[in-house]
Structure 1
Amino acid sequence: MTELISPSLSSGWFSYAIRVYPHHTDYAGIVWHGSYITWMEEARVEYLRSAGVSFDQLVAAGVDLPVVDLTLRYHQAAKMGEELLIMTKFSKSQKLRLTFDYEIKAVDPTNPEGDRLCVTASVSLVPVDSQKRKILRSLPSLLDQAIAGLLG
Structure 2
Amino acid sequence: MEVRIYYEDTDAGGVVYHSNYISYMERARTEFLRKHGLSVREMHDMGIIFPVVSIEANFRAPARLDDLLEVRTQIAALKNSSFTAAQQVVRKEDGKLLVEAKVTLACVNPEMRPRRLPQEIRDLFSSLMEETA
- TM-score normalised per structure 2: 0.90
CA contact (8 A) 2:78 2:126 kept: no
- Matching residue of 2:118: 140
Deviations 1:58-91 (A, max 9, x none): 1110121111110110111111110001111110
Q: Assess if the C-alpha contact under 8 Å between 2:80 and 2:117 holds in 1.
A: no
Unaligned 5+ segments in structure 2 are none
Number of the residue aligned with 2:103: 123
Alpha-carbon separation, structure 1, partners of 2:20 and 2:123:
30
3-state DSSP of counterpart to 2:63: coil
Query: Is 1:23–2:8 an aligned residue pair?
Result: yes
Q: What's the TM-score, normalizing by structure 1?
A: 0.79
In structure 1, C-alpha distance between the alignment counterparts of 2:122 and 2:79, rounded to whole Å: 13
Instruction: Count residues in correspondence.
Output: 130
1:105 is aligned to: 90
RMSD: 1.4
Whose strand fraction is larger, Structure 1's or Structure 2's? 1
Partner of residue 37 from structure 1, selected from 22, 33, 54: 22
Unaligned runs of 5+ in 1: 1-15, 109-113
Higher helix share goes to which structure?
2
